Structure 1
Amino acid sequence: MFQRSISYTALLVGLFDASAAVADLTADRVWAQTIDMIEEAGGSITALATRDGDNLNISNVRFTFDIPDTDETVIVSMDGWSLLEKGGKVHVEQPDYQEIVVKVAGQDDVTARLGYSVRGDMGVYSEVEDTLIQTWDIARAEVKLIELIAPDYDPAEATVEFVLSMNDAISNMMYMGNGHQQSVQSLGEMAFDMTIVTPAEDIDLSASARMRGLMNEGFQTVNFKGTPDEILAELTAGGGLRANSALDGMEFKMEGNVEGEVFNVSFAADKASSNVNIDNGNASVSADINDIAFNAFVPAEIPLPLSGGIEKIAYDIDIPLAAAPEVQQVHIGMEYLGLGISDTIWAMFDPTGQLDRAPIDLIVDLSAGVRLDRDLIDPNIEELMEQDPTQFGSIESLGLNELLVSALGAVAIGSGDFTFDMNDLQTFDGIPRPEGEASIVVSGLNSVFDQLIEAGLLQPDQLMPIRMGLGMGFVATGEDELTSEVEVRSNGGVYVNGQRMR
């Protein structure tokens, strides 16, 4: 669990000095802000707001959200809450328990009646100069299904139960007058449990999920309430968006019995993180997840239990967003490390254990030099791409910085670097003429062939055409090592291992 030292006070450091003007915030202002936020998110809200001294009571609340690309609408109804003006701040007060009704209105209406209980500080709003500050500190909140009304659902013949809960939820938000925002949130644990039982159809299912130690941090220095042109101007002038998140772990499990067939599926992962950054006309996205484990036993489909794991999955992408006369760099990288499966799975096609069962690794790292003639954040980008994709610019170079594939005891390592002449579209029939070199070295491939033959997965007479095909592009450069080198010269000549192929 992240320490609670990430607090409201920490958010203020560097933004306000001791002489900053602190205004007395009103409940009416907070209520108006709430309405604005919901409408900006594409929804609407109606409620009865009545004044009782320092209290503004919000009752008979009804949220409405249209589901995109459908004819369905989500309607959420609840008793409400109160906004208490106290010491220049506004405190949110909710009952410890209230019922919430969620209805999905469409061709087939579905209604769920939920019980909502909460403990903790439901929220405090304050204002410093032109910045609205919102803090929450919830010890525990729980949503539990009380009643479900849906077509073809009879509670006398089936039962559906679910509980969604969270512990130690802390949130600090700043809404600045210029439309910029800053936020820090942490969550000790979120849990979901559900059961479905239909005796007449012999169905008994249960599912659960857990997420631990979630941390989010965001900072937005662009007013996304502006027009597309205004947003574009802020981004190209140095405005941006930063969002970082981290997670201590997660688990998912589903098991049950369907018409006499027992099954169970589970998934777990350790620490994970993600980062999004838009700054100075560039965007970068990265994420990683570690120590993934999965298990599945579905005897109706596969008679044996399946299990495995991955040590790490990671990717990172960096791209320019703004047009510029000079060449800009694009980077794409991904890693899949330590992919392993259980001996039970191996035994299905390699019962005698002939194959090398070491985990599989894959690493790809690419870079490119691009010239952008138009902004990729142009609000009309989809229409422009349909008209002519080439109007956005050109790819000037492409580099394979790293390629690594390790599986079955064999390892392939590759690299390469090419430039493109955008003024020469004749040499390669409409394609910008490339120039550069690439190479790949494969070691251990002959050992893999031997293993496949020993395992009975490859016949000796099938190996000859495979070797002939490899001989067209590879040469032996060592003990059980093959190398392929490709060169494209300025005159359009294509050479493979020194032999001209074009």
Structure 2
Amino acid sequence: MSWLKPAGTGAVIFTLLSTTAGFADVTPEQVWEGWQEGYQSYGYDVMVGSSDRSGDTLTITDVKLTNEMDGTSFAMTIPELKLRDRGDGTVEATMSEKMTGVASSDLPDQPALSLDMVMTQTDSSVVVSGTPEDMIYTIDAPKVTMEMDQSGDAGDQAIPVKVWLSMENTTGTYEMKMGEAHDVTSALKTGLVKFTASGADPEGGGTFTLDGQVSDITYDGRFVLPNGVPMEKLDEALNAGANIQVALKYAGSEYAMNVDSPDGPVSQKTTDNGGTLDIGMSKDGIHLAGTSDGSEVQMTTKELPFPINLALESANMDFAMPVSKGDAEQDFKAKFALNGLTVSDDLWNMFDPGQNLPRDPATLKIDVTGKMQLTDDLFSPAVAAMPVPPMQVNSVDIKDVHLSVVGAELNGSGALEIQNGGPVPMPKGAIDLSLTGANALMDKLVAMGLVPQDQIMFGRMMLGLYAKPTGDDAYESKVEFKDGGEILVNGQRVQ
């Protein structure tokens, strides 16, 4: 299934949802002038059918926003925009109940696609206050809906996808400071987001439906774009000082998906207890972090006579890396954890009906930091054409690797320097590993008939050769990487 994602679509939709103008002042004319300058700074052309001032209200009709870049285009039409001088130094902005948009894509070696959009808002209120240098929008949008209908061409067959989205009870502020850069700070809350989607795969003959909702969303963000810098050229914008910071939080979500294919129907239901997502991007690097407070998944398939149930107590991730080229080393980190993963007894009983294996929740944790270098800006057009990213890892600090599952537990830590002078990067350093519960697990696998005895004997032999006993069914090993590619395990050469 193909989805159309033209550049800039999200920016326009978000801005229209949060305010009917990107920039404003304390008079209608200044509101309109700033509105045009704002979208032009994001790479959009602004066209107008007419503009008329009558009394305290400036009315602009047939406003069209267009953006074209790299084989994609986007156009949105606002039939009418009214800016009313409230007589107290503020301006009230209202717009048509319905607005339309068209996004299209015609990329090499890909089917041409088109996405039609209709956005509907009712009783939304936006009041602009402040000064020309510091403008504040106060937003109250009881309900905003968006309908999207994708069509396209895959050989002689259409690729239909329909999406519906609604946002209820959106309130907050949107502040714009003018100076050497567009500096926008947002603080918004949305009570409920609902969505549905449906589509068909002309090649496989399958269809799908999706519906769900997300509750109590808070959005805090800051976006800084230096004047005269095109945002669509991300590498240039970041080097000029562009800065994006986003913090999202939600109280919970749920969705259901059903797929009907020639292989049989599949259905899935997912719920979670909320979470967070933080995104940051500047010339100093990109940062992505998130948490989940617990989730459950239920899936049914033709192959199994019972549903598959999965549950996760919590999860988190924290990832950061540089995006700008430089001769000096830069930091990176990757942290990931799945805590308390469980599966239903029906699934366990398929291969362990006697309940020989412990069914305790499984946990996986990885925490790695290090130093790296970029030989080119990560988001430059030249990098997009490279077969591999222009990066070199110089060192890796393994702070923690942890896996606990079916009664066994593996832990590891260490530090490696990466020697990049040869044809293949070579590590130098050491990793310390500890393992508990391995023998008990192997005994149970043999008793269950899942693993032959001769294979288990080989595993025990390897454990005896390369691991030191430290207690009851407990072992440890030190893996050392030497110059020239030599590898030692507890002092024994293995390579």
The interval holding the TM-score normalised by the smaller chain is: 0.7 to 0.9
Aligned pairs (5 A) from 1:307-346: 307-320=309-322, 327-346=329-348
Q: Which amino acid aligns with 1:168?
A: N
- 1:406 aligned counterpart, secondary structure: strand
Q: Which amino acid aligns with 1:93?
A: T
Instruction: Determine if contact 1:320/1:328 at 8 Å carries over to the other structure.
Output: yes
Aligned equivalents of 2:283, 2:213: Cα separation in 1: 38
Instruction: Tell me, yes or no, if structure 1 residue 412 matches structure 2 residue 410.
Output: yes
Shift in CA distance, 191/455, structure 1 to aligned 2, threshold 3 Å? same
Instruction: Determine if contact 1:101/1:111 at 8 Å carries over to the other structure.
Output: no
Counterpart in the other structure of 2:213: 210
Counterpart in the other structure of 1:302: 304
Aligned pairs (5 A) from 1:3-402: 25-48=26-49, 49-66=51-68, 69=71, 73-86=73-86, 87-94=88-95, 98-103=97-102, 114=118, 116-121=120-125, 123-143=126-146, 163-177=164-178, 178-179=180-181, 180-193=183-196, 207-221=210-224, 223=226, 225-226=228-229, 235=241, 240-255=243-258, 264-278=267-281, 281-299=284-302, 301-320=303-322, 327-370=329-372, 372=373, 376=377, 379=380, 382=383, 389=390, 395=394, 397-402=395-400
Give, in angstroms, the shift of residue 461 of structure 1: 2.7
Give, in angstroms, the shift of residue 416 of structure 1: 0.9
Q: Which amino acid aligns with 1:467?
A: R
Give, in angstroms, the shift of residue 497 of structure 1: 0.9
Give, in angstroms, the shift of residue 69 of structure 1: 4.5
Aligned equivalents of 2:326, 2:151: Cα separation in 1: 56
Q: Which amino acid aligns with 2:35?
A: T
- 1:88 aligned counterpart, secondary structure: coil
Aligned equivalents of 2:331, 2:124: Cα separation in 1: 48
Aligned equivalents of 1:280, 1:58: Cα separation in 2: 38
Q: Which amino acid aligns with 1:403?
A: V
Shift in CA distance, 195/119, structure 1 to aligned 2, threshold 3 Å? farther
Q: Which amino acid aligns with 1:497?
A: N
Instruction: Determine if contact 1:339/1:359 at 8 Å carries over to the other structure.
Output: yes
Aligned equivalents of 2:115, 2:246: Cα separation in 1: 35
Give, in angstroms, the shift of residue 267 of structure 1: 1.2
Aligned equivalents of 1:311, 1:259: Cα separation in 2: 35
Give, in angstroms, the shift of residue 433 of structure 1: 6.5
Aligned equivalents of 1:489, 1:109: Cα separation in 2: 54
Shift in CA distance, 331/257, structure 1 to aligned 2, threshold 3 Å? closer
TM-score of the superposed pair, with normalisation by structure 2 = 0.76
Instruction: Determine if contact 2:25/2:128 at 8 Å carries over to the other structure.
Output: no
Aligned equivalents of 1:386, 1:263: Cα separation in 2: 36
Instruction: Determine if contact 1:224/1:231 at 8 Å carries over to the other structure.
Output: no
Shift in CA distance, 269/143, structure 1 to aligned 2, threshold 3 Å? same
Aligned equivalents of 1:393, 1:359: Cα separation in 2: 37
Give, in angstroms, the shift of residue 165 of structure 1: 2.1
Give, in angstroms, the shift of residue 266 of structure 1: 1.0
- 1:35 aligned counterpart, secondary structure: helix
Instruction: Tell me, yes or no, if structure 1 residue 437 matches structure 2 residue 430.
Output: yes
Instruction: Determine if contact 2:151/2:161 at 8 Å carries over to the other structure.
Output: no
Aligned equivalents of 2:430, 2:151: Cα separation in 1: 63
Flag structure 1 segments of 5+ consecutive residues without an equivalent.
1-22, 153-158, 198-202
Give, in angstroms, the shift of residue 129 of structure 1: 4.4
Counterpart in the other structure of 1:20: none
Aligned equivalents of 1:257, 1:327: Cα separation in 2: 51
Give, in angstroms, the shift of residue 403 of structure 1: 0.8
Instruction: Determine if contact 2:94/2:124 at 8 Å carries over to the other structure.
Output: no
- 2:332 aligned counterpart, secondary structure: strand
Larger Rg: 1
Flag structure 2 segments of 5+ consecutive residues without an equivalent.
1-23, 106-110, 154-159, 201-205
TM-score of the superposed pair, with normalisation by structure 1 = 0.75
Shift in CA distance, 383/206, structure 1 to aligned 2, threshold 3 Å? closer
Q: Which amino acid aligns with 1:131?
A: D
Q: Which amino acid aligns with 1:419?
A: E
- 2:31 aligned counterpart, secondary structure: helix
Instruction: Determine if contact 1:232/1:378 at 8 Å carries over to the other structure.
Output: no
Instruction: Determine if contact 1:44/1:63 at 8 Å carries over to the other structure.
Output: yes
Instruction: Determine if contact 2:277/2:290 at 8 Å carries over to the other structure.
Output: yes
Instruction: Determine if contact 1:276/1:285 at 8 Å carries over to the other structure.
Output: yes
Give, in angstroms, the shift of residue 144 of structure 1: 6.3
Counterpart pick for 1:480 among 462, 473, 486: 473
Q: Which amino acid aligns with 1:211?
A: V
Shift in CA distance, 364/105, structure 1 to aligned 2, threshold 3 Å? closer
- 2:294 aligned counterpart, secondary structure: strand
- 1:462 aligned counterpart, secondary structure: helix
Give, in angstroms, the shift of residue 393 of structure 1: 6.4
Shift in CA distance, 150/400, structure 1 to aligned 2, threshold 3 Å? closer
Instruction: Determine if contact 1:99/1:113 at 8 Å carries over to the other structure.
Output: no
Give, in angstroms, the shift of residue 118 of structure 1: 1.2
Instruction: Determine if contact 1:119/1:141 at 8 Å carries over to the other structure.
Output: no
Q: Which amino acid aligns with 2:430?
A: E
Aligned equivalents of 2:121, 2:436: Cα separation in 1: 61
Shift in CA distance, 233/24, structure 1 to aligned 2, threshold 3 Å? closer
Q: Which amino acid aligns with 1:79?
A: P
Counterpart pick for 2:450 among 433, 457, 462: 457
Superimposed CA distance per residue, residues 397-416 of structure 1 (whole angstroms, 9 cap, x where no aligned partner): 32211110111110001111
Give, in angstroms, the shift of residue 84 of structure 1: 1.2
Give, in angstroms, the shift of residue 443 of structure 1: 0.6
Superimposed CA distance per residue, residues 376-430 of structure 1 (whole angstroms, 9 cap, x where no aligned partner): 46846628977994xx7661x32211110111110001111233566xx5xxx65
Aligned equivalents of 1:295, 1:350: Cα separation in 2: 20
Instruction: Determine if contact 2:66/2:76 at 8 Å carries over to the other structure.
Output: yes
Instruction: Determine if contact 1:315/1:334 at 8 Å carries over to the other structure.
Output: yes
Q: How big is the alpha-carbon RMSD for the aligned residues of Structure 1 and Structure 2?
A: 4.1
- 1:352 aligned counterpart, secondary structure: coil
Aligned equivalents of 2:323, 2:261: Cα separation in 1: 51
Aligned equivalents of 1:114, 1:321: Cα separation in 2: 36
Q: Which amino acid aligns with 1:51?
A: R
Shift in CA distance, 373/39, structure 1 to aligned 2, threshold 3 Å? closer
Identity %: 21
Shift in CA distance, 24/317, structure 1 to aligned 2, threshold 3 Å? closer
Aligned equivalents of 2:217, 2:186: Cα separation in 1: 14
Superimposed CA distance per residue, residues 228-273 of structure 1 (whole angstroms, 9 cap, x where no aligned partner): 89856654xxx85432221111111134878997653211222211
Count, aligned residues = 450
- 1:25 aligned counterpart, secondary structure: coil
